[in-house]
Amino acid sequence: MKKVGVVYFSKTDITSALADGILEGVVEVKDVDAEQYRILGEDIICGRYTNGNVLEALSKCHAIVFGSPTYMGGPSAQFKAFADATSDIWCKQGWGDKIAAGFTCGSAQNGDQGSTLQYFVTLANQHGMVWLGLNSAIGYKDRGVNRLGCQLGVSAWSPDGIANKEDVATAKYLGHRVADLVGNLTSNSS
């Protein structure tokens, strides 16, 4: 069974709703399963993420989807603590050639969510991963997803603290897209 890992931090549960959407999309694809890993405060000691079990489990996945709310123009400190803890994996390029994607949310319609997604792209490229964005442009062959028109990944907007249904649908769409590619790439290389 091929696996997609979803690792994220969420404070208000909007990011959790997006992570759940990613999982829903992944498990729609035959022979692909998803595992969800929420970054917890108790896993961060003296500013460093310490849950080696999560890092090991993600290393066994064929794809990893990163998620964090956008705080002050970038990912949360909790996500960054996780990312910094991946440096030992980076040294060995242990995530090389895995598929990567990402999702974020913010309280402003253009609250620099793109900066968070760009950070995820940089993290993925540091690891030698292959980034997968969205292939659904708003208004063109509209699929009812990607209402904010961000191609880099899922960019959500929640001014009221509630996950928008279309943003969750976009997350589900991206999860399905990642799982499709995982299935296609790994079956073609067999």
Domain CATH number, residue 28: 3.40.50.360
pLDDT at residue 149, as a whole number: 81
User: Cβ of 184: how many Cβ atoms within 10 Å?
Assistant: 11
pLDDT for the residue numbered 99: 98
pLDDT on residue 100: 98
Measured between alpha carbons, how far is 160 from 176 in angstroms, rounded to an integer? 27
Domain enclosing residue 36, as ranges: 2-188
Number of structural domains in the chain: 1
The Cα-based distances of 16 to 20, 29, 137 in angstroms read 6, 21, 24
Rounded to whole angstroms, the Cα distance separating 189 from 184 reads 9
pLDDT value of position 190: 44
Would you say how long the chain is, in residues? 190
Question: Looking at residue 69, what is its pLDDT?
Answer: 96
Model pTM score: 0.94
**What pLDDT does 141 receive?**
64
Task: State the Cα–Cα distance between residues 7 and 30, nearest whole angstrom.
Answer: 22
**Predicted local distance difference test score (pLDDT) of residue 110:** 78
Which of the residues in the chain have pLDDT under 70? 139-142, 186-190
Res 188: pLDDT: 53
